[in-house]
Structures are given as C-alpha cells and as structure tokens.
A and B are shown apart, each in its own frame.
Chain A
Amino acid sequence: MKLEINYYGILSEITGQTKEILEIENPTHSLLLITLHERYPQLKTTPFKVAVENQIIDDDAPITNHNIALLPPFSGG
C-alpha cells in the first residue's frame, strides 16, 4: 500500500522533507514505525503521534488509509 507520510515540526527536519510516499505491505502502526526507524534512526528518540485520515491511531492498529500525519508535541510559546 502506498502511504503519503506528512511530517510536522521537527520531524520534517529530521527527514529532510514535509511529505513523502512510502510503500508498506499490510501496514500497521508498528510496521510504519519500524520502517521509519530504519530510514531515519533519529526518529527513535523523537516522540510523535500517528494520525491516519486525521484520526490518531494507537499501537498496532491497522492502517487503512494512505493519508498519514506524524505529529510531534510543540513546546514553543
């Protein structure tokens, strides 16, 4: 399945882009994390939430839509 990954905040700096297409077979939350950690080891120590079609999903949930957003917390004010 082709996934469009949208990177927010510091994640776009770590990955060097605001979005990219990744192909993952039978994607789940954890499969996506494994793929991302392999590509960008720095993501292992960066907290973020995964949203699929603008819904936050929890660990191990299957991914059934291509529209993914990765959201880190912001602290600036």
Chain B
Amino acid sequence: MERYYRHIRLAEIGLRGQQRLSEAKVLVVGAGGLGCPVLLYLAAAGIGTLGIMDDDVVAISNLQRQILFGTSDLGKSKAMIAKKHLIELNGDIQINAHNEKLNPKNALEYIEPYDIIVDGTDNFEARYWINDACILLNKTFVYGAIYKFEGQVTVFNHQNGPSYRCLFPSPPEQESIPNCEEVGVLGVLPGIIGTLQATEVLKILLNIGSPLSGKLLCYNMLTHEQRLINLPRKEQSIQQVKARNALVERETPWNCDLTPTLKFQDAIKKKNVHFIDLRGAEEQPKLPLKPILYIPFTELESRMGELSKSALYVFFCQSGKRSKTAVRLMQERKMNNCFSLIEGAPEILRLLKQTKTA
C-alpha cells in the first residue's frame, strides 16, 4: 500500500477509496493518443482490472503522441506492448490485453465484464457501438474526442444520465469530419483530454466531486478556454437503442443528406421536366413517362454531355438509391438542375395508375 500512500493520505480517498480502485474493472477501447495516458494513469492509480482493446500495431507516426510506446516497439501489437509497459509500471494489478478490433459482434462480450468503459477510439462507428453496448449492458461510458487543438470530454450513460445519441443521434458521414490522421493533431492534446478522461474514471469510482455526466466539456488548448454544455437525457434516443437490443452494423448518416429529392406527385407538376430512368434495360416495370431518357447508372458519367443545363432532370431507379447517388454526381459537375425521386419504379407505376383512375 506504500505505492498508493499519496492517495491514501487524501482524506477524500483514504484506504477505503484505494480499496474501491483495486476492486474496479475498467476497459479502455483504443490504445492510441487518448488511450495511452488513460491507461498509464489508471494503472498507476491501482485500478484492479484494466482491459486494453486494440488490434493495431505501433507505427512510427504514433510515437509523437502515443506515450506508451517506443521506437523498439514498432510493428508490434499495441495491446500487448501496452500491457508489457503497464506491468512494469504496476505489477499488482490485472491487465487484460485484447488484441482485437471492437465490432458489433464482439462489443457486448468484451464490454460486459467491466464496470466503466473509456473511449479512446478514433472513429464514429466504434463510438456508437460503445455507446449502444453501454446502454444495453448498463455501463458507464467515459467519452473523449479530439480535433486539432480542441477536445470534448463527457460521461455518458451514468446513473440515468444522457448517452452519446442524446447529443448526436446518429453518426455523421465520416468524410464530413476529418480525423487526426487527415488533419493532424498537436501531440499533447490527447494527453490533456485522455488525462481528463482518467480523472473522470477516478472521480466516479471514488465518488468525489461531480462527474461530467450531463455536461459536455469543450476545451480549446490554444486559448485554454473551456465551455460546459448541459446535455439533457433524451429518453426516446435511449429507448430506441434498448428496443433494437443489438448493435447496428451500418447506419444512415445524420443531418448530412441534402440530396435534392422530389416526390413523384410534385415532380409531374413541374415545367420542362425530363425523367431519367437509371435502370438497366432488363429492369421492370417500364414507366409510361414523357419525355424520358434511358441512361443506365453505369453509363451516366460518359453520357453527361447529353444533358443540358436549362432542363429540369428527375432521376429514378428501382429503389431510389442509384438516383440519389446520380444526383450527387451531377451536383459535383455543377448540374444543379437535377432531382432524385423518393419513390422507386414499382411505386411510381402504382401512383400513375392511381392518378389515372382518380
């Protein structure tokens, strides 16, 4: 116990508090920029069981900020090397190295044995899997994320607090928000944010202060300005996850789909409309629409020259998927006179028949 003397000296911790730390089980998902400082401080603090989940190997570009690794570790498993260094730091605790990538199939199984899950991942997909798994298994989720010189920290799913989905209901399109690999990051930033995450874990376990549950801390390291945003729990967002009772492999991105779409009934009222059937010749039913162009989706790029900027083009296909992609493609070519029909061909045919009988 001499190891923890400075903790035990604190009246707010004492022997009892240190005992609580030694009984705690914490899983850190991602042993990267955030995961390294989290793991170092939690191991030093004497967290009884510490899990490390990461399937990556150490790369030289990691060493600028991932402070658990050294030059001789290049090419080796992050989880295994992290465990090796952490045992050297504190041999009295149990360290579980999981050389695995978190996915919707294994998330529940890996998260279940732990009390608190710390998010050290670098992508939205994994963050939502952790969030949903924590809702389903009733685990506290200590969240941290960084962007260049800024960080966000909060505690989700803690004592009936909000979850990640109460803030951002579903993941954005990955390309709308670049990650560290794409834009860069000052090496010390994940050090600060990861240390704040470790702080939250210790506060929760020791029951001291007020954890960042229901509060999102936004931190800017260039100015040291901080803002605490109040996050209300949205019961509906949480109940949706519970009702689904499983993790989602792929989700429809949030707030980003601004492809111009039209309902068929609105499209036929427009002037100078040209319909474009993007389906292959073999796809049925054919639709009695005029004027209509048959441009299979695969030929669209090569046949764009056939389209003029003065007409209004309404794309459709069998389900509405190809037509959306086509309109996005047209937008990239500055053809802003294109719309995608919400309905697919079978639905349009049904609507056409209805209009005729009406």
Contacts and interface: CB of A to CB of B under 8 A. Distances in A.
Given A9-B147, A77-B122, A46 B176 contact: yes
Contacts of A10: 147, 177-178
B180 A76 contact: yes
B33 A54 contact: no
B229 A75 contact: no
Q: Which range holds the interface residue count of chain A? A: 20 to 34
Contact of A49 (B124, B167, B190): B167
B340 to A, nearest CB: 16
A76 B172 CA distance: 13
Interface in B117-157: 119-124, 127, 144-148, 150-152
Interface stretch (B252-260, B279-287, B311-319): B252-260
Contacts, number: 98
A51 to B, nearest CB: 5
B34 interface: yes
B145 A77 contact: yes
Contact of A73 (B119, B168, B180): B168
B154 to A, nearest CB: 11
Given A75-B122, A75-B123, A47 B254 contact: yes
B201 to A, nearest CB: 16
Contacts of B30: 77
B75 interface: no
A6 B144 CA distance: 21
Interface string A1-19: 0000010111000000010
A47 B255 contact: yes
B230 A75 contact: no
B146 A77 contact: yes
Contact of B177 (A9, A18, A51, A69): A9
A56 B176 contact: no
A20 B216 CA distance: 22
A14 B353 CA distance: 48
Given A10-B147, A56-B229, A69-B218, A75 B179 contact: yes
Contacts of A54: 227-230
A74 B255 contact: no
Contacts of B70: none
Given A73-B171, A76-B33, 17 more contacts: A9-B150, A46-B177, A47-B256, A49-B167, A54-B229, A56-B167, A56-B231, A56-B232, A69-B227, A71-B216, A72-B172, A73-B124, A75-B127, A75-B145, A75-B174, A77-B30, A77-B121
19 contacts: A8-B150, A9-B150, A10-B147, A18-B220, A45-B176, A47-B256, A54-B227, A54-B229, A56-B167, A56-B230, A71-B152, A71-B216, A72-B172, A74-B147, A75-B127, A75-B147, A76-B145, A77-B34, A77-B35
